[in-house]
Structure 1
Amino acid sequence: MSDNTLKAVEAAHAEVKAEIARTDTKTGLLLAFVGAVLAGVWTVAKDMPMTVPAYVVGGLGVAALVASAGLLLRSVRPNIKGRHGFPLWATMTGQEITTALAARDMAADVAGLSRLAVVKFTCLRRAVDLTFLGCVLLVVAGVLAGVGGAR
């Protein structure tokens, strides 16, 4: 492999790892937001008089947020049986690690990490969509509860 190609592969490897880290950070922030929204909904809704439509729409909103949290947790779930990284290295001796690193195919690592990044990004994107849907449904449920309570 030429020097330029090796540098390009190393740069791609670093870029993919950075993208995975950014995705995990965004996932953590969104998971905290979803948890805060769910806690806030519980705090407000437990003492509020509700109509049946408000319960139904609010329940759908909460279900969307719970599904979003599930996707977020799936996205950051550790892969202990991974092909690379510390889980594999924890089973090796020092010499085996040296041998494995000497034979390391950086381009294959970029391809594998890129697939992992796409899966994480897809889960995050779906979770963002579900979070948006859940929040909209909760606002509608709040309006329905307010309209029903004004009667």
Structure 2
Amino acid sequence: MSALEAGLTAAHAEVKAEIARTDTKTSLLLAFIGAVLAGVWTAARDVRLPVTASVAGRLGVLLLVVAAGLLLRAVRPRISGAAVAGFPLWATLTADEILARLAHDERGQDIVNLSRIAVAKYRTLRRAVDLVCAGGMLLITAAAFTIGGAA
């Protein structure tokens, strides 16, 4: 195997692994958000909160819901529109067209396409993490106002 072939194979595997990592991180964050929202619902549903705690808590919950929406967007399959690579492209081809394409090494373009997908997923994941942090701080603030208001 030439150095170019080895490099293409390694880069292709790396990009596919990064996409898998974003999906794993997204799943964990969605589970975390679900647990936090369930905990907030359980803790706050029968409690009369001070106005400041209520406002901070509602904003925190809103940010967590928006973060969950971003995370769902990050894992939503992108299989419609112009299929440029992988199985979405293969689904539009005949068996002979697939064999003709596979006769040429198109890993370079596939790496570009997959890298763009991975970067978009990471950007969305980063935005969601920022919102989770901000929402968490607002929920902590709401708890502090509630504890301070109860004293």
Q: Give the deviation of 1:102 after TM superposition.
A: 2.1
Q: Give the deviation of 1:85 after TM superposition.
A: 2.5
Q: What's the TM-score, normalizing by structure 1?
A: 0.91
Equivalent residue number for residue 44 of structure 1: 43
Equivalent residue number for residue 88 of structure 1: 89
Residue-pair matches, total:
149
Measured in 1, the distance between the counterparts of 2:106 and 2:36 equals 44
Are the equivalent residues in 2 in contact too, given 1:49–1:149 (CA < 8 A)? no
Q: Give the deviation of 1:9 after TM superposition.
A: 1.2
Provide structure 1 residue ranges, at least 5 long, that are not aligned to the other structure.
none
Equivalent residue number for residue 132 of structure 1: 133
Are the equivalent residues in 2 in contact too, given 1:49–1:145 (CA < 8 A)? no
* 2:48 partner SS: coil
Listed as ranges, the matches of 1:60-79 within 5 Å are: 60-79=59-78
Residue type at the aligned position of 2:113: G
Q: Give the deviation of 1:103 after TM superposition.
A: 3.1
The answer to whether the aligner puts 1:97 opposite 2:98 as a matched pair is yes
1:14-67, CA deviations, whole angstroms, 9 ceiling, x for partnerless residues? 111111101110111111111111111111110122011111100110111011
Measured in 2, the distance between the counterparts of 1:118 and 1:149 equals 46
Are the equivalent residues in 1 in contact too, given 2:60–2:134 (CA < 8 A)? yes
Measured in 2, the distance between the counterparts of 1:72 and 1:103 equals 36
Are the equivalent residues in 1 in contact too, given 2:60–2:135 (CA < 8 A)? yes
Alpha carbon RMSD of aligned pairs, Å? Answer: 1.5
Are the equivalent residues in 2 in contact too, given 1:50–1:149 (CA < 8 A)? no
Are the equivalent residues in 1 in contact too, given 2:85–2:113 (CA < 8 A)? no
Equivalent residue number for residue 121 of structure 1: 122
Are the equivalent residues in 1 in contact too, given 2:8–2:108 (CA < 8 A)? yes
Q: What's the TM-score, normalizing by structure 2?
A: 0.91
Are the equivalent residues in 1 in contact too, given 2:70–2:125 (CA < 8 A)? yes
Measured in 2, the distance between the counterparts of 1:76 and 1:88 equals 19
Residue type at the aligned position of 1:55: S
Residue type at the aligned position of 2:112: A
Measured in 2, the distance between the counterparts of 1:66 and 1:83 equals 32
Residue type at the aligned position of 2:96: Q
Provide structure 2 residue ranges, at least 5 long, that are not aligned to the other structure.
none
Equivalent residue number for residue 26 of structure 2: 27
